[in-house]
Structure 1
Amino acid sequence: MPLRVRYHECDGQGIVFNANYLAYVDMAMFEVERALFGSHEAALTAGVDAVVAESSLRYRMPCRYDDELVVSAFLKHLGTTSLIIDFELSRDGKVCTEATNRYVFVDPATLRKAAPPASVREAYAAFLPAQPD
């Protein structure tokens, strides 16, 4: 997902404020849903939603106002009721920030933890890294 850093996302030091990196990751996750299901609403209609259970960030180099970034998402793990996605935020091909989110699948109506339907698991599973033989 391409992204240009906006002025108001930066702190007094002129660097992207740390919490905004999680907003960028959240935006990228909506793009993942769009690619897999057509939209967030379509994912809900398919009977699934996901909530963030855990996040971690590693800052490698600062991002500043007007930087052109690319946010990439990589499915690391697909469990019965959760998934882990690694994100890279890069500028000019160099990784600036790494993020990992663990999501828990929930029933859209009750927001209680629930295994996703088989069609949803299959959509995500197509993006799991190949396992060695």
Structure 2
Amino acid sequence: MTNNFHFSHRLKVRYSEIDGQKIVFNAHYLTYIDVAVTEYFQEGLGLELGETDFDFVLAKSTLEYKNSAYLNDWLTIWCRMGKVGNTSMTMNCMITRDGAEKPVLLAEIIYVSYDPETKTARPVPEFVRAKIDQLENGIFS
């Protein structure tokens, strides 16, 4: 199930993230993914976001809820780059709960390489493509 993922980040569900049914409120899953994607770029790719000539913005998110997470659960957010286009990058994510066989959530997130000065899309830089290719074991080579 997780053998195609080369990066993951763990976090623990906090009290403020559960709802009246005592399960994680659905909007928090996007926050979990955002935290893991930031770590993918910073820890996994070794990029210092804000310090390089690379920025990206969210263009689309598709979430498929499979199971629930609960207070104090340890979650692993798995990330892999599925595709890098000219200006866009498609990230596949999966959230699993420690000790559970089924995933909690599957996601497809599309980001666009972004120029903050012109506020427009721009091509994904070659140095970013190279780092993604290295982390993802040459799937784009």
TM-score band by shorter chain is 0.7 to 0.9
**Residue type matched to 1:97 in 2?**
L
Equivalent residue, structure 2, for 1:65? 71
2:93·2:108 contact (CA, 8 Å) conserved in 1? yes
Mark the runs of 5 or more structure 1 residues left unpaired by the alignment.
Answer: none
Tell me which residue corresponds to 2:62. Answer: 56
Q: Distance in 2 between matches of 1:115 and 1:122?
A: 14
SS in 2 for 1:56: strand
CA deviation vs aligned residue, 1:81-125 (integer Å, no higher than 9, x gap): 111001111012531111110001111333310002211121123
Q: Distance in 2 between matches of 1:124 and 1:111?
A: 24
Task: Show the counterpart of 2:92.
Answer: 86
Aligned partners of 2:133 and 2:84: how far apart in 1? 7
Which secondary structure state, in structure 2, belongs to the residue aligned with residue 120 of structure 1?
helix
The CA deviation at 1:41 is 2.2
State the number of aligned residues: 128
Distance 1:118-1:97 versus aligned 2 partners, 3 A rule: same
CA RMSD after TM alignment: 1.7
Q: Which residue of 1 aligns with 2:5?
A: none
CA distance in 2 between partners of 1:105 and 1:70 (Å): 26
Q: How big is the shift at 1:129?
A: 6.7
Q: Which residue identity lines up with residue 109 of structure 1 in the other structure?
A: E
Which has a greater percent of helix?
Answer: 1
Runs of at least 4 residues of structure 1 off by over 4 A?
A: none
Provide the TM-score with structure 1 as the length reference.
0.88
